Structure 1
């Protein structure tokens, strides 16, 4: 016997319809590329998204075709999120931090029909355009007064505000198949060409429900959300969709992601929740420390993209009273995989134990499952000690890559993340390394992440990166690369002594190298492959 319930497809446009109908007065605030602050309401946003949907039809964009965006976090980008997907086309967010060759490859591979871009990226568009056969139409995301007078594009260049103003807001969102594609994001491509992950309306809506839950990102209509994590990468961790679902105020930072700009925006708009990668928060904390400042409204921050050092958690929580929620995910996971949210019996743990727990990436929400396996693929115990390859499956996990001739990556229905992890008896997962970054010394594994976390505890360390360096006796040994705080007189032996008693002696790095900076990838992650290329023979040449 079948149930007697209504059947309504899970569609991206339904989030916008809900926001307009039930939270129409809620505000969206954006710091624009043009330099000013823009404000409007959800109802204005919904109206303009419908205008843009009509404009896309006017440009000849058909259902299923890809529409590229090369833009910061702002209200126009938000309008495209819903106008493109809601009308049946596919939103393809392009990462401007990728190399121009990778961008050209991605645009060609996705066969983007049109690309919308913020004025900041005009030089990048001018470099990319001659390398691609399509698109033939580019749209500058600005008004007529700020349109570039001179540009090197042979393709058609349109003005965003002109095409919005030129169309009616009378548009009925089509009733799509919920399994049809809604958006497309490519991996950062640190090795080989980037791979496309094609999300569906259904997977996006289920991800939105799960990510908004109290034990996930814990979002509500009472929140003021500042997504620092970019909209050009895995949908800003779902926050634009979540905000519409719950009716939260949104604050978009635009291109200004330095500590001073972010702090001013957080204070002026009374932000309660933000999300970003550790490298961004380092800049924010450094600024607030330098001005002896504070946070008057911030309640919590979501930190992901790379392991969050305990020192950063301590700074936010002990110094400023801001709860840190450690999260883990991937482009292939839409991206949320696990959230480090306490269970009831963990809330009253001693502070040191709670900080140790918060260093873990956390537990899956319903809709995600995970396991760790050994080299033979056998499941390992959740004892907090065994480490193995991390595999996941769930409602918003990719099963294959877009337009790929390679075999699907799944192993017996599970997606191999490329991470090495351990899971404790409470189900809390902790990444110990990327499989390609793990250090194999004398036949035993050493976690570079654990070494980095200890280094971050030293008050004179700004950035710590541990890599595997080839060794004549032990095959590989950990080498620690450090960016010191300005004016620091820290020397290698002092830092190495700092490790004594904090980890197994044989895990302790053999050497410390001070560097001025470390290379960062398109999503703010440290490019360890480049550092291995540069320092991988350090012990062989010593």
Structure 2
């Protein structure tokens, strides 16, 4: 029997460090611009970035960090955070981006579960570090992203010992060669938002990171180019900013980082000053930007397209961007477990021949799978459903940047090699997927998940509450906000305000429900489970008190 004939190509591993090295070598003078925590604008080049990332790799090595160790970050979008991305992963450790918007106990749990040996943090998160540090005994050091003088000015009252990032890397010269790692080694670690129980970790590899960057940069995906100036509003702690910090250097695009200031005025001024052509973020931030522009009667001079994901883009927002401002909206869908990109709403040549109304209907869906992702919808009997746009079932995905299992969990969630997303969807004959429901009753507020189960448990912990359900209500700014439907115990006197106050200190402030309504009873199935479908139908037109406060 004749043996297979193998190709005679170079064996070079796909490594995250190669993305930055490529940008440094071939687009070395292209800019990376950041609005800093210090308040000023910082600018340097990809060549500068790689040198400082290598200085960081040297510093970590000097600290005794070994390959495979997890190094955490609590930081906004900025050049130092980008250096952490590449300095940590490039030397063989794992860059673990942590969402600071989670409740402090969850942040501490994530750091402990990941077994982070060091944590880098922006100075605005000093108070958070002060709270969680006693709960993280395995962290060897907390490193503030700033120089010694600035840290001394802003963090002088901290009881937790803090190292200076600039002092740390300043001891090294950047004369460092990125190691040739196994491309299957871990590169980045991102945790889910803990919608049910504790957050779960998705551990990406160098191979999956580079392949995801290639996929994201495709013309029918994000479509990044060296001629673009890209401003990622989506946080770098939110699933690696949807892969933009990897896709941008892959093509050599200019990067513009907004730091902590994500209000409409700050974003607009930065976009105009830096000639931003491309951006990405959740609907909430665009609501603020559009409101500011309408109030100031201003327009974009360079922005041509934006990716909107994290939660469904409201059709009205899509129309405003395209019809009033001439900005193309690319609707996107993905998950932490998918690195995260899965689908984007890019019309094919054939679709563009249809009427404007038909085109818009397609663009309002979550879109077409990009190469590297396969998907299907499955019925209750486990069989794949037809792509007819009406048959809805559980959405399954697979691909080289989809997880096989969660970090530190032996059991795999895969079903016959497919990952169950937890979403319910349809796929039309064009291959466009649309989310129709969620199999888990989580609430997505401003692109961030809120656990309805956790809120229900807190409500029921009140001594005068017999039973409670939490459902999502539509909100013009946050897309969804939680509503508590509560059944009180006999002779109970608790008020709406008192029950809402019961949530304070138990969850992050933005998790606290917007409203409470009291009911005589809740609908249940024959097995005693809450029928949230009926509740959502009952309160479909319910207007939350906060719903009229902020609208475009």
Q: Shorter chain as normaliser: what TM range? A: 0.7 to 0.9
Structure 1 residues 354 and 153, CA gap change in structure 2 (3 angstroms): same
Query: What's the CA shift string for 1:416-460, capped at 9, x where partnerless?
Result: 000000000111000112112499xxxxxxxxxxxx9x988xxxx
Q: Are 2:130 and 2:160, in contact at CA under 8 Å, matched by a contact in 1? A: no
Q: CA deviation at 1:200?
A: 0.1
Write the distance in 1 (CA, Å) between the matches of 2:212 and 2:185: 15
Q: Are 1:126 and 1:152, in contact at CA under 8 Å, matched by a contact in 2? A: no
Which residue in 1 is equivalent to 2:152? 148
Query: What's the CA shift string for 1:35-60, capped at 9, x where partnerless?
Result: 00000011111111111110111111
1:39 aligns with 2:69: no
Write the distance in 2 (CA, Å) between the matches of 1:5 and 1:336: 29
1:342 aligns with 2:372: no
The match for 2:124 among 120, 126, 137 is 120
Q: CA deviation at 1:515?
A: 2.1
Q: CA deviation at 1:110?
A: 0.7
For residues 257-296 of structure 1, what are the structure 2 equivalents within 5 Å? 257-296=262-301
The match for 1:132 among 133, 136, 145 is 136
Q: CA deviation at 1:513?
A: 2.8
SS of alignment partner, residue 174 of structure 2: coil
Write the distance in 2 (CA, Å) between the matches of 1:190 and 1:400: 17
Q: CA deviation at 1:517?
A: 5.7
Which residue in 1 is equivalent to 2:320? 315
Structure 1 residues 412 and 24, CA gap change in structure 2 (3 angstroms): same
Which residue in 2 is equivalent to 1:11? 15
Write the distance in 2 (CA, Å) between the matches of 1:472 and 1:93: 40
SS of alignment partner, residue 12 of structure 2: coil
The match for 2:417 among 413, 416, 431 is 413
Write the distance in 1 (CA, Å) between the matches of 2:142 and 2:325: 44
Q: Are 1:219 and 1:242, in contact at CA under 8 Å, matched by a contact in 2? A: yes
Q: CA deviation at 1:6?
A: 1.1
Which residue in 1 is equivalent to 2:403? 398
Q: CA deviation at 1:227?
A: 0.5
Q: Are 2:33 and 2:42, in contact at CA under 8 Å, matched by a contact in 1? A: yes
Write the distance in 1 (CA, Å) between the matches of 2:301 and 2:188: 36
Write the distance in 2 (CA, Å) between the matches of 1:390 and 1:42: 39
Q: Are 1:310 and 1:356, in contact at CA under 8 Å, matched by a contact in 2? A: no
The match for 2:64 among 60, 66, 88 is 60
SS of alignment partner, residue 308 of structure 1: coil
Structure 1 residues 463 and 156, CA gap change in structure 2 (3 angstroms): closer
Structure 1 residues 357 and 478, CA gap change in structure 2 (3 angstroms): farther
Query: What's the CA shift string for 1:104-142, capped at 9, x where partnerless?
Result: 101111111110000000000000101111212111101
Deviates more, 1:247-256 or 1:366-375: 366-375
Q: CA deviation at 1:462?
A: 4.7
Write the distance in 2 (CA, Å) between the matches of 1:438 and 1:21: 45
Which residue in 1 is equivalent to 2:543? 513
Q: CA deviation at 1:478?
A: 6.1
Which residue in 1 is equivalent to 2:364? 359
Query: What's the CA shift string for 1:205-254, capped at 9, x where partnerless?
Result: 00011110000000100000000011011111110111111000000000
Q: Are 1:471 and 1:477, in contact at CA under 8 Å, matched by a contact in 2? A: no
Q: CA deviation at 1:302?
A: 0.2
Q: Are 1:129 and 1:153, in contact at CA under 8 Å, matched by a contact in 2? A: no
Consecutive unaligned residues of structure 1, counting only runs of 5 or more, are: 440-451, 481-506, 519-542
1:253 aligns with 2:258: yes
Query: Aligned-residue CA RMSD in angstroms?
Result: 2.4
Write the distance in 2 (CA, Å) between the matches of 1:121 and 1:438: 27
Normalising by structure 2, report the TM-score: 0.82
Write the distance in 1 (CA, Å) between the matches of 2:31 and 2:280: 19
Query: What's the CA shift string for 1:57-113, capped at 9, x where partnerless?
Result: 111111100111100000000011100000000000011001100011011111111
SS of alignment partner, residue 113 of structure 1: strand
Q: Are 1:212 and 1:219, in contact at CA under 8 Å, matched by a contact in 2? A: yes
Q: Are 2:195 and 2:442, in contact at CA under 8 Å, matched by a contact in 1? A: no
For residues 87-486 of structure 1, what are the structure 2 equivalents within 5 Å? 87-148=91-152, 151=156, 155-405=160-410, 407-437=411-441, 461-462=476-477, 465=480, 470-471=522-523
1:82 aligns with 2:112: no
Normalising by structure 1, report the TM-score: 0.84
Write the distance in 2 (CA, Å) between the matches of 1:200 and 1:325: 27
Write the distance in 2 (CA, Å) between the matches of 1:438 and 1:383: 27
